[in-house]
Structure 1
């Protein structure tokens, strides 16, 4: 038994009787359970109850045992002076207020709803499962899950905002520089995200803007800072970029000593760092006001136009320097652009809107709902349990659900867990 389950039982009054009684035998009628407090202090604020013939308004504290009041030193904390009712699983000790009057206590271990208690024990059994409600998840109404996923989606955006806010603070609110850092990180995907991010951070964004007038210089800048022009190579294009980077490095006093080296291992050729950095360079060479375009653009198709970029011509026949391959334009795919929208564009738009105190929730819901779901092991597993994920909004919500609720067994704070606990058994 965990204390947060008693919070749930009190909040939703999951008792077999409406006639609660104190340890002294007085009848307790609950007019308002109060506001659930997740911070320090009593567990429920501003509850209203009648005890016997007396009406009370104040706070409710919940413990597994009455004696926990003293174990937690609440008798020394003024925040607990306004507690009007003590709700416990087991009443093992009388608890007194500062005026030495006994604080009314309700013991609930014999009056908890049986079905709810059975569901709780099943949910929190020690049996190894991918998620605690694995057996019950398929039976939860899709409406409940989809509503919860929308909430989780914005919760995930709030978390992603923390990195953006940190970037803004470090750059003195330079939104364009922050966008560049985030795009670089996500152009690198999981394998080279950290490497590309370190490359971006090694550059002052003013240097990027100055080089953007000459696409080949910008490509040389990115590849050189990433350490991809350090070796000796007889390829003419390599040597040309190497010379340009040497000039830029001297001109702008650049250093890449702290840049993480990009990897090629286990990457498909279209994701080679040479290709992705060239595409990033062509994006910034072709889009002079990228931040303002992103902020003012609202639909997926328009974003596809913005990110419709191709690596420089040399890469049409190469994936790496000096190695000729089948001729094909190395263009950003819609699937790749979708990832940029999910991981960079939408979080940045969300954070920017918050900064200017503008609500664009509906716009972001529509945009995320227009993008296909992500394809990874977590989403596949959820869809095996119940085919629930169709859009990026769903898949992002499910990733948040798994990481922040399922893995941490926070079922009592989860709408799905609450639905499982509230389900009536035949």
Structure 2
């Protein structure tokens, strides 16, 4: 389709340039030809030509190099302060009324949850799967940036980096920060020197967590305190502040004392854990790395030191394990694959998410109520990314689902 400016000149676009997500013109370094002249510069996009003045571009020097104004409706010729008239491409007569109406309804409609809430349930399975795969990879790429930053701080040590992230995720949302601080205050190399003694490992973890600063009546915490006092001096350790740990509004099974017991058991039983994660390909075997850890028997009748409770298992439950697989193992497999340019590990990350159950939260419930099929963490993670980074900003034209709806008959 031949293009013309509103002034009747022939227009050819060689390159649309780079989309600018910061302040300034929408596209930079575009190359176009108007008539016989080739131009290089910036392109600005508006609904109406008059929006140029409404948005304050008239007095903004960063817009002085605009070579083309792309608008839906040319309601006011654009003339810069220096008298130069900016060529304009009007799209109103090039976009079918039905398509414009669909887009207008998506962006300016009265939807409650997402722009396409009336249509998304009818989008074909292939389109949904392909687009969710893409946004899931976008999500993992963004999250993996934090992994690589930590890896650089840890001088390329994947085991130490994995240990720190795993510890933070043991605290889930409520106690993620103190768990992370604990891991950073207690490097794996220190734990490795005492790995043959479960009592010393437990003493180091509880001591660094700040839980061994009192006097105890039970034999087990008293032993831990004695061991820690020796190890603290030996390794010149500084514990984190005990007040950082939160117990309020947590089920007793999720108390930090219990999570610390599980974490200590994992450290005792799983040496070089990240190396094992890289080797183990079966999802069941990955679950077994966590389900087979056994906490100290003391915790079978306690949730806190010196406070006895009814007997119950304190080993990790299936849902807690799946959260760790989702937030730590899948992320690290992807990050490792991305960092080492290995599609094998990236595919393993995606496959792991396909074998984990979907999360349950308000966003996922909303999508399910709209008719979207959600059974795995692969889908739920992708939908979280879709909602937070596309739907919330009404980026329907950049969304595969939105494009399918706009193109549908």
8 Å contact kept, 1:36–1:44: yes
Structural mapping, 1:55-70, within 5 Å: 61-64=43-46, 68=52
8 Å contact kept, 2:204–2:228: yes
Partner of 1:366: 351
User: Separation in 2 of the partners of 1:180 and 1:108?
Assistant: 55
- The Cα of 1:229 is off from its aligned counterpart by 2.1
Q: Describe the SS at the equivalent of 1:330.
A: coil
Cα distance per residue 1:41-61 (max 9 Å; x no partner):
773877777x77x69797782
8 Å contact kept, 2:123–2:405: yes
8 Å contact kept, 2:26–2:45: no
8 Å contact kept, 2:109–2:115: no
Partner of 2:19: 37
User: What is the Cα-based RMSD across aligned positions, in Å?
Assistant: 3.0
Gaps of 5+ in 1: 1-17
User: Separation in 1 of the partners of 2:358 and 2:164?
Assistant: 25
Partner of 1:270: 253
- The Cα of 1:383 is off from its aligned counterpart by 0.9
Compared CA separation, residues 72 and 414, structure 1 to 2 (3 A)? farther
Cα distance per residue 1:192-214 (max 9 Å; x no partner):
11121121122233212223221
The runs of at least 4 aligned residues of structure 1 exceeding 6 Å deviation read 30-33, 44-49, 54-60
Q: Describe the SS at the equivalent of 2:244.
A: coil
Cα distance per residue 1:253-310 (max 9 Å; x no partner):
1112456621222222221211111111111111122121112222211202222212
Q: Describe the SS at the equivalent of 1:227.
A: coil
Compared CA separation, residues 205 and 289, structure 1 to 2 (3 A)? closer
User: Separation in 1 of the partners of 2:78 and 2:197?
Assistant: 79
Structural mapping, 1:14-53, within 5 Å: 18=1, 20-26=3-9, 34=16, 37-38=19-20, 43=27
- The Cα of 1:373 is off from its aligned counterpart by 1.1
User: Separation in 2 of the partners of 1:423 and 1:231?
Assistant: 68
- The Cα of 1:75 is off from its aligned counterpart by 6.5
Q: 2:309 aligns with which of 319, 325, 328?
A: 325
- The Cα of 1:398 is off from its aligned counterpart by 1.1
- The Cα of 1:31 is off from its aligned counterpart by 8.1
User: Separation in 2 of the partners of 1:227 and 1:221?
Assistant: 10
Partner of 1:14: none
- The Cα of 1:38 is off from its aligned counterpart by 4.2
- The Cα of 1:413 is off from its aligned counterpart by 2.3
Cα distance per residue 1:169-207 (max 9 Å; x no partner):
222222222111111111111111112112112223321
8 Å contact kept, 1:60–1:86: no
Compared CA separation, residues 200 and 113, structure 1 to 2 (3 A)? same
> Does structure 1 residue 145 correspond to structure 2 residue 128?
yes
User: Separation in 1 of the partners of 2:271 and 2:365?
Assistant: 39
- The Cα of 1:392 is off from its aligned counterpart by 0.9
Gaps of 5+ in 2: none
Partner of 1:284: 267
Q: Describe the SS at the equivalent of 1:88.
A: strand
Compared CA separation, residues 232 and 153, structure 1 to 2 (3 A)? same
Structural mapping, 1:379-398, within 5 Å: 379-398=364-383
Q: Describe the SS at the equivalent of 1:191.
A: coil
> Does structure 1 residue 423 correspond to structure 2 residue 408?
yes
Cα distance per residue 1:368-404 (max 9 Å; x no partner):
1111111222212211112421111111111111222
- The Cα of 1:357 is off from its aligned counterpart by 2.3
Greater mean alpha carbon deviation, residues 157-166 or residues 136-145 = 136-145
8 Å contact kept, 1:316–1:330: yes
- The Cα of 1:71 is off from its aligned counterpart by 5.0
Q: 1:204 aligns with which of 162, 187, 207?
A: 187
8 Å contact kept, 1:310–1:329: no
TM-score by length of 2: 0.85
User: Separation in 2 of the partners of 1:364 and 1:417?
Assistant: 27
Compared CA separation, residues 122 and 280, structure 1 to 2 (3 A)? same
- The Cα of 1:95 is off from its aligned counterpart by 5.6
Partner of 1:194: 177
Partner of 1:5: none
User: Separation in 2 of the partners of 1:38 and 1:286?
Assistant: 51
Partner of 1:135: 118
User: Separation in 1 of the partners of 2:242 and 2:143?
Assistant: 23
> Does structure 1 residue 73 correspond to structure 2 residue 86?
no
Partner of 1:356: 340
Compared CA separation, residues 165 and 155, structure 1 to 2 (3 A)? same
Instruction: Count how many residue pairs are aligned between Structure 1 and Structure 2.
Output: 397
User: Separation in 1 of the partners of 2:6 and 2:115?
Assistant: 35
Cα distance per residue 1:231-256 (max 9 Å; x no partner):
33312212111211222222111112
Greater mean alpha carbon deviation, residues 223-232 or residues 244-253 = 223-232
Greater mean alpha carbon deviation, residues 328-337 or residues 396-405 = 328-337
Compared CA separation, residues 295 and 196, structure 1 to 2 (3 A)? same
